[in-house]
Amino acid sequence: MDPTAIGVIGLGTMGIGIVQVFASAGYQVLATDSQAPACASANHRLAAALASRVQAGKLTETDSIAILSRVRVVDGPARMAPVALAIEAVVEDLPVKRAIFSALERVIAPDSILASNTSSLPIAQMAEGLACPGRLVGLHFFNPAPAMKLVELVAHADTAPWVLPQVRALMKPVGKTLIDCPDRPGFIVNRCARPFYGEALALLEEGRSAAAMDAAMLAAGYRLGPFSLIDLVGADINLAATEGLNRAMGGHPRYHVFAALRAQAASGNLGRKTGKGFVFPDQPGSPPGDADAIVLRIEATLANEAAWLLAEGGTTREGIDTAMKLGLNLPRGPFECLEAQGTDRIIAELARLEGAAPAHLRGRYLPAPELVPA
């Protein structure tokens, strides 16, 4: 096993970004993809990404050439034998990922680590059937991987004790912030982000405008409102993530898929990538007179979801706050919102919302045990 070698399987946008991250940190990277065109174009796409950084003055030409020299495209997982860490970044399909890990563990060293970049699939399920399930973890990078500072580190119940320290050591030169996450649907960010969008969608269906809600959040210090963030990511992508979490959490009303989001995705007006979204290309404008009430409602549900996750174990208040600020670029994390608004005010707002909730949302606003005084 070569401690300076990293393997990346899957050379789509995320995979190429991960290749760039490790090669920029000085690692030798072996990269592959099951699709020949992805392998054939990998070096060109990486070179183009680095060239844009050179043009922006963020990277020297010499460093760009050195990074490219550390990347070698190889023919399949069977050529990954030397790597200390092998990361898959392929389609979110459990059987496909299992097959990749099964092939990898036949060739890599016993003390090498397997990692998945999944954003949604359970790591424990991915490990089932492996000869050494204890060396598989989740390493969830955020897009674009070279720019985003957060990586969610996900252990499952059978992760071997030696694995996490070794992962942290391998990740140290990369310069990312690793946050320990429970092996639960959505991990931290994708789960705790749902109320940021969901409560805004609930307000939209109650007759409020998307622009007014975004303006309220901007006035409270948020860089993007919930609808502008949906427009940035894409309504179709947001819908898929929401539907996936809704299924994983048994259809609980906290993960309700709002009709307004389905309709937006079905309309084809997906956001920036199509030229029109909930708000884009317009600006939100001035905040409404009840902006503080809108912020309280959204922050109350953010804090409540974070508290429910905290009650399940495997993370901390500080970890959740850091992950949400880095992963969503929020000005404050859910528990910082709780502290700023005050627990009594948050609980009162949740009680008000639960009392007014329509039948299909009953139970959505019940407070987590962490919020209720003993």
Which tens digits make up the pLDDT trace of 98-157?
999 999 999 999 999 999 999 889 999 999 989 999 999 999 999 999 999 999 999 999
Vertex 91: Cα angle to 85 and 93 (nearest 5): 100
337, 197: one domain: yes
Domain limit, last residue, from 135, 159, 181: 181
Dihedral of the alpha carbons of 17, 23, 29, 33, in degrees to the nearest 10 = 20
Same domain, 292 and 169: no
Quick check: is 52 catalytic? no
369 inside domain: no
What is the residue-wise DSSP string for 171-212?
Answer: HGGGT-EEEEE-SSTTTTHHHHTHHHHHHHHHHHHTT--HHH
pLDDT tens, residue by residue, 64-74: 999 999 999 99
User: Catalytic annotation on 349?
Assistant: no
Mean pLDDT of 240-265: 95
By C-alpha distance, which of 175, 26, 32, 204 is closest to 104? 32
State how far the alpha carbon of 36 is from the alpha carbons of 40, 90, 342, in Å: 6, 14, 55
Question: Are residues 149 and 113 located together in one domain of the fold?
Answer: yes
Domain presence at residue 47: yes
Q: Does a structural domain hold residue 65? A: yes
State the pLDDT at residue 34. Answer: 93
Q: Supply the pTM of this predicted model.
A: 0.92
Given 24, 119, 238, 246, the catalytic residue: 119
- The torsion of the CA quartet 148, 237, 252, 150, rounded to 10 degrees, works out to -10
Same domain, 207 and 166: no
Residue that terminates a domain, selected from 128, 151, 181:
181
106 in any annotated domain = yes
Q: Of 23-27, 47-51, 322-326, 368-372, which range is least confident?
A: 368-372
Residues 177 and 193 in one domain: no
Helix (H) or strand (E) holding 26: none
* Active-site pick, 88, 105, 152, 305: 152
Do both 177 and 232 map to the same domain?
Answer: no
Number of domains in the chain: 2
| CA–CA distances in Å: residue 52 to residues 31, 49, 55, 132, 366 | 21, 5, 5, 41, 48
Do 81 and 150 lie in one domain? The reply is yes
Answer whether the bond into residue 281 is a cis peptide, omega within 30°: yes
Could you list the residue range(s) of the whole structural domain that residue 7 is in? 2-181
**Does one domain contain both 31 and 11?**
yes
Instruction: Given the residues 64, 190, 238, 246, select the one marked as catalytic.
Output: 190
Residue 371 in any domain: the answer is no
Within a domain: 366? no
Residues 92 and 55 in one domain: yes
Asked if residue 114 is part of any domain, the answer here is yes
Q: Are 89 and 212 found together in one domain?
A: no
C-alpha to C-alpha distance for 111 and 326, rounded to whole angstroms: 31
Report the mean per-residue pLDDT for the chain. 95
Q: Which helix (H) or strand (E) holds 8?
A: strand 2-9
Pairing status of strand 136-141 against strand 150-154:
antiparallel
Average of per-residue pLDDT across 195-207 = 96
* Of the residues 158, 181, 204, the one at which a domain ends: 181
Bridge partners of residue 153, in order along the sequence: 139, 180
131 and 210 co-located in one domain = no
The answer to whether residue 140 is catalytic is: yes
Contact 141, 115 (CB under 8 A): no
CATH code of the domain in which 354 resides: 1.10.1040.50
**Does residue 368 belong to any structural domain of this protein?**
no
Task: Work out the pLDDT band at 2, boundaries 50, 70, 90.
Answer: confident
pLDDT at 374: 55
* CATH code of the domain containing 52: 3.40.50.720
* Rounded CA Rg of the chain: 22
- 158 and 256, same structural domain? no
94 pLDDT tier (thresholds 50, 70, 90):
very high
256 is catalytic: no
